[in-house]
Structure 1
């Protein structure tokens, strides 16, 4: 039955593409290149070709209507299947086609050894052919791929919802309010999270080259919002590993949450066999059980686990039970705030003790910014450095 529904969905999408094409209903096309990751021997890139839905830049004084319209546009996508793209890296060209939902993926082998002075590597993506009435040559996008340097001390894999940004994922009504009524500037980061994450990125070697990876069950349609949220709030840039969103059951919000996250984390650990990791999540959903399974499957690879307490007693019990099971192997800490996590990280030799004060100060600033404004926050200042994808923050 599932295969029949999937085929029907595919046929309907194909039919609608033909209709839109015939009557010239396609808007100008765009390439959305997702931040990804790789190694010195292979770079992985993922992106999508869709019509430009006209999503406007976020402002702290955006109206509710504007936020709702932008969110609608994110999900009302006109994807372009069988579009041909040219990927250029190190003067080499590679071609790739989009699938039935407009996504493209490619693995590239660098022609010459990568220079690892910067953890980010750029490549050009150009749309060279699409059987769409609005297609015009010259549509390009800049893609960024992270490659951890050999002297990185450890990597960090973090959840997003209710870990770095307030989502209330355990309450469908509140979650809808946070998601649909706000934008990248007005969504609330947890107090002190940006300073804590920067301290982990800095590490103890002071090179600020510990790589971040963000794994979420949010759909790819939310990519631009989450990407901008990280940049605006000065949270270290990293690949965003999201999910497809479609008609089939395993593509809806919340479904198959555990297997998606585990698979993405598994891929990261397999890609970097000589790099150990810190895992960060929250007690609201399944992060603790997922991380427990990761620890079992990859013994010795996880340094410690921080689980933010969403203050639900039954969820806290689950985390505490798993923590007891892991005693003597890996510490899984249920923490009330980022300051508590920072203190443990300093005691464990992951960050400098001086960073604790910075986290506490940032925590108080964030609290004062959001006091009395449950759905909005003061806009964070954006410097030129925030717009860069370098590891400096």
Structure 2
């Protein structure tokens, strides 16, 4: 059996290399973008990307133009991957050398970083870039509670995945006009306040290019900081398109390996397949799921999400032993989760886990 990447992946790398060479000839320069990572005392996951960007505008007109477009979504996608370039990472007391992948991405696990629990920093530099700084959340070994949250239509009203509307939201609309789902920020704030040191992991099928916008959005609307685990649009090593469901499933399984002592509250919406994904995960790892909380979309949002005004009929798929909370907003979900904690049997059962 051949171990070569899928044809489309090889073609994408060929094209990216040609674009990279052309833009370098035009004077574009390397830039490192750091994504929010996570880890434990034993291992830290450093995430980032190296891209080529135009030289910064130096004239008054150029700077004014840059400021006008700065907050438009398409600016997140202006750049070209630096394919398989060497980078140096400094984290804790270690200096580590690696190379980007065919998409310019960095996804490296640094063993024994010697970092204290909490938010810590790391630095990354490629041969042709300035040093970039990023953050990684180190989770203490005694933490037993965590949250996993979908992003699209769970914390932010994106009207995904209908292509034209998604394109408008992602590329054209000013990011300050995007709206948060009511009550969700308070839900996460309250849950983490009751479990100091617990993480919230944001998982989305959105592109890594939107990481900066999402980070600013979450901060602006009062959501707790947390690692964001996004994906790369385009071909994979095995096929033409990436599977959003597979990305979420694989990410959940990875979190169980990275944090074997944490039991998660899984938060999503009923506009796509979050309930099915979470239910399948709960069947595989029932001791890693405290509860599933699903935000119910309005009929209009349902139409935009999948073409009909009814929910996807997935509630029968839920594992019977896993508590399920349904509500149209964060306030209702918070009340539902609180009612679970008020049940002595439920508290005892979760404690045994």
State the TM-score, normalized to the length of structure 2: 0.82
- CA pair 251-195 structure 1, distance change in 2 beyond 3 A: farther
Q: 1:340 to 1:299 in 2, by over 3 A?
A: same
Match of 1:301 in 2: 288
Is the alpha carbon distance of 1:175 and 1:9 closer, same or farther for their aligned partners in structure 2, counting shifts above 3 Å? closer
2:183 and 2:282 mapped to 1: Cα distance?
27
Aligned to 1:161: 152
Structure ranking higher in strand proportion: 2
Map 1:208-357 to 2 at 5 A: 209-247=197-235, 255-311=242-298, 312=302, 316=311, 318-323=313-318, 326-327=319-320, 329-349=321-341
Partner of 1:126: 125
> What's the counterpart of residue 368 of structure 1?
none
- Contact 2:16-2:83 within 8 A present in 1 as well: no
1:308-327 deviation digits (Å, cap 9, x = unpaired) = 1113477535243234xx33
Which residue of the partner structure matches residue 192 of structure 2? 201
CA contact (8 A) 2:182 2:331 kept: no
2:22 is aligned, of 3, 19, 24, to 19
What SS is found at the alignment partner of 2:268?
strand
Q: Distance in 1 between matches of 2:235 and 2:71?
A: 22
Residues 1:18 and 1:261: Cα distance change in structure 2 (over 3 Å): same
**Counterpart position of 1:4:** 7
Residue 173 to residue 12, structure 1, CA distance change in 2 (3 Å): closer
Alpha-carbon distance, 1:53 to partner: 5.5
Which residue is equivalent to 2:140? 149
Per the alignment, do residues 173 and 85 of structure 1 end up closer, same or farther by CA in structure 2, a change over 3 Å counting? closer
CA contact (8 A) 1:316 1:334 kept: no
Q: Superposition pairs for residues 365-376 of structure 1, below 5 Å? A: none
Report the TM-score when normalising by structure 1: 0.74
Q: Is contact 2:37-2:136 (8 Å) kept?
A: yes
Distance 1:75 1:189 in 2: 22
* Compared CA separation, residues 227 and 318, structure 1 to 2 (3 A): same
**Within 5 A, what are the aligned runs for 1:103-122?**
103-110=105-112, 112=114, 114-116=115-117, 119-122=118-121
Taking only aligned residues, the RMSD between alpha carbons, in angstroms, comes to 2.9
Q: Give the total of aligned pairs.
A: 323
Maintained 8 Å contact 1:307/1:333: yes
Question: Which range is displaced more, 159-168 or 35-44?
Answer: 35-44
- Describe the shift of the 1:164–1:317 C-alpha distance in structure 2 as closer, same or farther (beyond 3 A): same
Flag structure 2 segments of 5+ consecutive residues without an equivalent: 58-64, 303-307, 343-353
Give, in whole Å, the separation in 2 of the partners of 1:74 and 1:286. Answer: 27
For the structure 1 residues 342 and 54, does the alpha-carbon distance in structure 2 shift closer, same or farther, using more than 3 Å as the test?
A: farther
Within 5 A, what are the aligned runs for 1:19-98? 19-21=22-24, 23=25, 25-52=26-53, 70-98=72-100
Write out per-residue CA displacement over residues 266-287 of structure 1, whole angstroms, 9 at most, x where no aligned residue.
1011211111000000001110
Give the 3-state SS of the residue equivalent to 1:185 in structure 2: helix
Shift of 1:199: 0.5
- Whether contact under 8 Å (2:9, 2:235) holds in the other structure is yes
Q: Does the aligned pair in 2 maintain the 1:184–1:232 contact within 8 Å?
A: no
2:293 and 2:324 in contact (8 A); partners too: yes
User: Deviation at 1:247?
Assistant: 5.0
Distance 1:241 1:43 in 2: 14
Question: 1:131-181: CA deviations, max 9, x gaps?
Answer: xxxx36xx1111211122244341000000000000122543433333334
Structure-2 residue corresponding to 1:360:
none
* Residue deviations 1:336-390 (CA, integer Å, cap 9, x gap): 221111112222239xxxxxxxxxxxxxxxxxxxxxxxxxxxxxxxxxxxxxxxx
Conservation of the 8 A alpha-carbon contact between 1:54 and 1:73:
no
CA contact (8 A) 1:244 1:251 kept: no
User: Post-superposition shift, 1:291?
Assistant: 0.4
Q: Is the contact between residue 84 and residue 95 of structure 1 (CA under 8 Å) also seen in structure 2? A: yes
Query: Does the CA-based 8 Å contact 1:250-1:256 persist in structure 2?
Result: no
CA separation of 1:5/1:178 partners in 2, compared to 1, >3 Å: closer, same or farther? closer
Q: Distance in 1 between matches of 2:105 and 2:162?
A: 31
State the SS of the aligned residue for 2:341.
Answer: coil
